[in-house]
Amino acid sequence: MHSSDPLSSPVDASGFAYVVGIDVGSQTATFCVCKPDKRQVIKPGELANSRAGFEALDRSLRQLGVPPERILIGLEATGRYSENLYQFLRAQGYLLCLLHPRQTHQFAQQRGLRAKTDRLDATTIARLLLSGEARPGYVPDELIATYRELERLHSQLADDSARYQNEIQALVVVLFPEFVQVFADPCRPTALALLKRYPSAQAFVEASVEAVAATVRELAPRHYGRKTAQQLVCLATQSAASGRASGARALSLKILCDQLEHTLANLAQVESELDHLLERDTGATGLKSTPEFGRKTVAVLRAELGDVTRFQRVDQVVAYAGLDLEVKQSGKWQGQVKLSKRGSGRLRRVLYLAALRCICLPASAFGAYYQRLVARGLKGRAALMAVMRKMLIVAYHLLRSNELYDPRKVCAVAGPPPRTPSSGS
């Protein structure tokens, strides 16, 4: 739902009449109310994480006798658990400060607080606000929240799809290893449907050639027929499959094939939603005009970078993505210089894949930039990291200015002039 924003300024709680700390769980939330002098006005109490609980909290706060804008409320970004409460309190006019759990954890550690309960956590959040050290997290707007939801669901489904395919291929190896002589990829739609009906060499042997032929003609009449069925049955008769645990493995294969089909259908639906979102998103015009940025890359950049106007300098964007360099040394010991990797892992991953795709393309300005760095003596991996940073910086400028991509600004190489806004993307 939210992410921490180390770029924001610390919250000054001195101008508020009351400060509220809320620890949010899946079913309940615990809150406490303090004055700026750290004196507790309302001791930690529990409320339901529901509309009735939210309204009860609102009534308790209004009984303090000050307008909502004089009350500062802090709560942790605990996944989706805190979203409904956050939006409810925001609609009532309270000023909210979303805190990354790491902030409160480090604050508690620095003060030697070892015990951990919901009541103590709520008190710690209130004290963090009063300390002047709290930095509010970034809360994405509707567009960015939609990007994040769809992109992360897409990644999850893609990972599930890859896992199912690996497991299917491993099962085919023991159930009917010769199957790949006919269908090189057992995870193609026709092969999947065929394996669901005949999940082992024994199943093909027990079926007649006519039955298998009718199945393949039903699945792909233009490509397969009796000849394919005869080949499959012949291979099954002479198969090297041991038959060990064939019943259980055949059931596993049928279920996995079914799971993969449903996952691929859901993945196509998410991709369609992402396409529609990208088409309507005028703020992504510059990103979409960059040849090296595919649909997935653009979606991740929009989702993870969010509102780029909150970055004041380029080095802040680089640090936010975890692509800044971290140096460790002590006395005469000189450690290695490495990437900090403190930022968004999704952002680094998509930039890494995009950089890998383009470094061997002669027509790519990023590829030319990579080759130039290598020619100057930079090692391949270091040059690849430099390309990732260059891509990130270009994406930041395109999002901030909404200009179209100009390869000549990446690397001084011959290339087509930038497209004009009227030409589209």
416: pLDDT confidence band, cut at 50, 70 and 90? very low
* pTM of the predicted model over 0.85: no
Token duo for residue 244: 């060990």
Q: What percent of the chain has pLDDT over 70?
A: 91
Please write the tens of the pLDDT for every residue from 246-291: 999 999 999 999 999 999 999 999 999 999 999 999 999 999 999 9
- Residue that has been written with the tokens 């004089």 in this structure: 70
Model pLDDT, residue 340: 73
Please write the tens of the pLDDT for every residue from 80-123: 888 999 999 999 999 999 998 888 888 888 877 766 788 999 99
Read off the pLDDT of each residue in 312-325 and give the average, rounded to a whole number.
89
Backbone phi and psi for residue 29, each to the nearest 5 degrees, phi listed first: -135, 145
6: pLDDT confidence band, cut at 50, 70 and 90? very low
Model pLDDT, residue 8: 61
Read off the pLDDT of each residue in 412-424 and give the average, rounded to a whole number.
40
Model pLDDT, residue 97: 93
Model pLDDT, residue 336: 64
Look up the CATH number of domain 18-139. Answer: 3.30.420.10
Whole-number Å distance between alpha carbons of 376 and 319: 25
- Give the residue extent of every domain in the chain: 18-139, 146-272, 284-423
Backbone phi and psi for residue 193, each to the nearest 5 degrees, phi listed first: -65, -35
The CATH number of domain 146-272, selected from 1.20.58, 3.40.50, 1.10.10, 1.10.287: 1.10.287
Read off the pLDDT of each residue in 238-248 and give the average, rounded to a whole number.
94
Model pLDDT, residue 331: 59
Please write the tens of the pLDDT for every residue from 177-231: 999 999 999 999 999 999 999 999 999 999 989 999 999 999 988 888 899 999 9
Please write the tens of the pLDDT for every residue from 328-349: 665 565 656 677 777 788 999 9
Model pLDDT, residue 3: 43
The per-residue pLDDT of the chain, averaged, comes to: 89
Model pLDDT, residue 327: 60
CB 127 within 8 A of CB 113: no
* Whether pLDDT at 5 is above 60: no
